[in-house]
Amino acid sequence: MADDLQKGLDDVLVAESSLSYIDGDAGLLAYRGYDIKDLAREASYEEVLYLLWRGELPDRDALDEFADELAAERAIDESVITTLDGLATADERPMAALRTAVSMLSASDAEENDPDDLDASLRKGRRIAAKVPTVLAAYDRLRNGQEPVEPREDLGYAANFLYMLDGEEPDDVAAETFDMALILHADHGLNASTFTGMVIASTLADTYSAVTGGVSALAGSLHGGANQDVMETLLELDESEKDPTDWIRDAIDNDRRIPGWGHRVYNVKDPRAEILTEKSKDLGESSGEKKWYDYAATIEEYLTEEENFPEKGLAPNVDFYSGTVYYQLGIDLDMYTPIFAMSRVGGWVGHVLEYQEDNRLIRPRARYVGPENREFVPIDER
């Protein structure tokens, strides 16, 4: 590979952004200059959406107005429900169902696409963010033979999703924990799905197209899905009835890959994982069932010892504990990546708006390495 070829675009600067800042060596993530730890512990997901899209944290009146606007857009058209029911009958994967539904949502949006009208693009993004939880909850219920639950405008973003999922209003601990998880996943620089959305937006396609592209990219196993893999690994550990330390030792000896461990950007523990570690422990203590946190913590402790796992620079990422959080909230494993997408809509829309302010079509080049000067041979002479 030539020295000037950056396969995977590692460390290639393609844009400037004021949405999120990452320091992989210090374990720092900030949205618009605010440390993710402060936002996760003190703000709501609605506040973070406002921050990502408008650049500043809202005051109380602005937040109330913004939250009301979001809540008023939660309902989805009956045609979308019908399509979701058909996909559920066909046993479609939740991420594929979400991709189809997001694309379909544009059909019920009467506002014309005008790439020069960023306020219109923001309104479209707001509608998508409001409706995605309704889509996901409806799909999960339909595939389990249940009727969808209508959204409630009097509940917060996180609490409403959990309510629509099982028909029961969540307690404060569950709602606050899920809200925190949404904040932690809202944005993370130019990851694959965000960059995909930006490329689409650079063509002046509408926000629905960009978000559909983001969902499609996130569905790939190298981007989304690690939190589900982590939980499946912990369930395997549980079923083995082995001591967790013995199990992880055997896994390493057999060259097994440990999901949720290591990150393309962070060389220390992912700051989002630090917060979810606390919430996983809190949920376990609250329910009296701490084993899922204990399993993860034991694996982390074992792998942190260099003599046990000599690959330096590897530490837990956000997925290592988010799976245990979602599992303790009673959420199906294959809904974990769709929930990731639900949260990341905030970042996707924010980057679309930011890039289109000073738009330039993203059009990279590839070095041609194929054959040259070949003579064409008519088909009857080949």
Catalytically annotated residues: 263, 319
Q: Are 341 and 97 in contact (CB under 8 A)?
A: no
* Distances, alpha carbon 132 to alpha carbons 17, 21, 75, 221, 326, in Å: 25, 26, 10, 21, 18
Tokens standing for 55?
A: 């650049």
Pick the closest to residue 104 from 223, 224, 218, 215 (CA basis).
215
In angstroms, rounded to a whole number, what is the distance separating the alpha carbons of residues 324 and 320?
A: 8
Tokens standing for 347?
A: 């970042």
Which residue matches tokens 């982390």? Answer: 300
In angstroms, rounded to a whole number, what is the distance separating the alpha carbons of residues 20 and 39?
A: 12
Pick the closest to residue 351 from 241, 137, 193 (CA basis).
193
3-state secondary structure of 261: strand
In the chain, helix, strand, coil percent, each to 5? 60, 5, 35
Pick the closest to residue 200 from 189, 222, 182, 215 (CA basis).
215
Sign of CA dihedral 33, 37, 41, 45: positive
How many C-beta atoms lie closer than 10 Å to residue 361's C-beta?
A: 8
DSSP 8-state code for residue 56: S
In angstroms, rounded to a whole number, what is the distance separating the alpha carbons of residues 223 and 192?
A: 7
Burial group, residue 115, by CB count within 10 angstroms (0-12, 13-18, 19+): middle
Q: Which residues contact 298 (CB under 8 A, 6 or more apart)?
A: 244, 245, 248
